[in-house]
Structure 1
Amino acid sequence: MEHQLQLKKPLAFFDLETTGIQVNKDRIVEISIAKANIDGTVDIKTRRVNPGIPIPLEASLVHGIYDADVAEEPNFKQVAKSLAGFLDGCDLAGFNSNRFDVPMLVEEFFRAEVDFDMKNRKLVDAQRIFHMMEPRNLTAAYRFYCDKELVGAHGAEADVLATLEVLNAQVKRYAETALKDAEGKEYFPIQNDVNKLHELSASNSIDFANRMVYNKDKVAVFNFGKHIGRPVLEVLKSDPSYYDWMMKGDFPMDTKRKLTEIKLQGFQR
């Protein structure tokens, strides 16, 4: 493979598969690097890593790597020096890399006690360029689905009528479009049925500020701060002052109301 990028130093495109998305807690299970060299050539390096912690099923279903697949692989500390050597003198690039891959990689190097200097590296995130040049806003959606320019954008009436047209066009366009689930079975996510569209649009958030969410077991957990990932009821019982702190804090009324509902329901059982 070759590239046409004009480079003054190698640009290493990399992607991580991990046990999760919490940089401070989760670990890398696979790293792939495509190093674009100044002469137009590309060197590719991919290797799996034993994270030293179990890979959650929901993560394995996304990237297809299970505990058994990495049981005999080295841990990150064992490969850190050679990896740092491969990336020596390189700028870094990826897709959503500035928000996730770069922080995760740097954290793993810190844990491995390998010096990985970031001061002189340029960071290029293709996702930011994508979102800048192909915005995913109502104006762009109206142009894409309805082939029209949105006149009067950000005026309430123009926006709401455009949204109606967009949803109508989406239902029509994707009625026969199938996707595959985690088991490879085909399904049709977009149906002309508000209940189905609601299920598709719904998130696992409990409150609108996303401070509390349901985990894979449908248990309410905190989604921020020192108790992130811990069940809300468990925290409220072990640290009662946390409830008072949130109720007095600068949180939306909706968050406080949902927190109180969870507390009352849980403590009445």
Structure 2
Amino acid sequence: MKLNLKNPIIFFDLETTGVNIVNDRIVEISIIKVMPNGEEIAKTRRINPEMHIPEESTAVHGITDEDVKDCPTFKQVAKSLADLFEGSDVAGFNSNRFDVPMLVEEFLRAGIDVNFSKKHFIDVQTIFHKLEKRTLEAAYKFYCDKDLKNAHSAEADTRATYEVLMAQLDRYPKELENDISFLSEFSSFNKNVDFAGRLVYDENGEEIINFGKYRGRKAREVLQSDPGYYGWIQGSDFPQDTKNCFARILVSMRQ
């Protein structure tokens, strides 16, 4: 099976210091960029997170402070990474909930303005969970009939994710279309406004708060009825991308 592509698509996986997209940092990124003609460009790069890698994270991916002490920081490689993602759609495993929000935060911290708003995002895990409900190792065994060696290394997980999507298209020809727009829609549970999913669009395209005491309320109504809420968002431990989305809503209300 060959992906039917109009644009290049990037499969990617991150290894990080932890799972908090605000406070944790990337220590490794692996990318497979697939071109419409089937050509592949594969890159793996370790990143100095400029913070201690907790032992519990090292136990998962095997990367230590010593391994990355001489590696470039994310800010040093951000521009070249942004150029690589330019014009490409994006795919990963649990990427809509973690890898994409984490990557966006790193770009924002590095001062790189990357416009992800018009990309299609395919989360292979979501497709898998909707149709089979298991893990990446199980998905790889189920769809590809192979054991995933070196699981939780970014390179192995990225390659496995790419192969699983190919096999999913072969296995579910009636349920899945070999079309990036379809796969992006199928692998999304919500239509997120921000990449962390704190804001989602309803069926009318209105921004809806997706957490906390105002969950399910229109963001515009909340910002109007509770003026202090915006200040609380901006001063709290939310991803910068989420704060930016609230700011754009507030600005549009004042125009």
Q: TM-score, normalised by structure 2?
A: 0.52
> Given the alignment of the two structures, is residue 40 of structure 1 paired with residue 38 of structure 2, yes or no?
yes
How far has the Cα of 1:15 moved from its partner? 0.2
Aligned counterpart, 1:54: 52
Q: Deviations over 1:7-35 (max 9, x none)?
A: 00011000000000000000000000001
Higher relative contact order (CA 8 A, sep 6+): 2
In structure 1, give the amino acid aligned to 2:37. Answer: D
Aligned counterpart, 1:255: none
In structure 2, give the amino acid aligned to 1:102. Answer: V
Aligned counterpart, 1:221: none
Aligned counterpart, 1:17: 15
1:1-269 equivalences in 2 (<5 Å): 4-135=2-133
- Measure, in 2, the Cα distance between the counterparts of 1:87 and 1:45: 12
In structure 2, give the amino acid aligned to 1:128. Answer: T
Q: Deviations over 1:89-117 (max 9, x none)?
A: 01110000000000000000000000110
Q: Deviations over 1:237-258 (max 9, x none)?
A: xxxxxxxxxxxxxxxxxxxxxx
How far has the Cα of 1:135 moved from its partner? 3.8
Aligned counterpart, 1:154: none
Aligned counterpart, 1:232: none
Q: Deviations over 1:58-102 (max 9, x none)?
A: 000110100000000010000000010111101110000000000
Aligned-residue Cα RMSD (Å) equals: 1.8
Q: Deviations over 1:176-224 (max 9, x none)?
A: xxxxxxxxxxxxxxxxxxxxxxxxxxxxxxxxxxxxxxxxxxxxxxxxx
- Measure, in 2, the Cα distance between the counterparts of 1:109 and 1:116: 7
Q: TM-score, normalised by structure 1?
A: 0.49
Number of residue pairs matched by the alignment: 137
How far has the Cα of 1:119 moved from its partner? 1.1
**What is the aligned-residue identity percentage?**
58
- Measure, in 2, the Cα distance between the counterparts of 1:30 and 1:4: 28
How far has the Cα of 1:41 moved from its partner? 1.3
SS in 2 for 1:99: helix
Query: Structure 1: 5+ residue runs without aligned partners?
Result: 137-224, 226-269
Query: Structure 2: 5+ residue runs without aligned partners?
Result: 135-211, 213-255
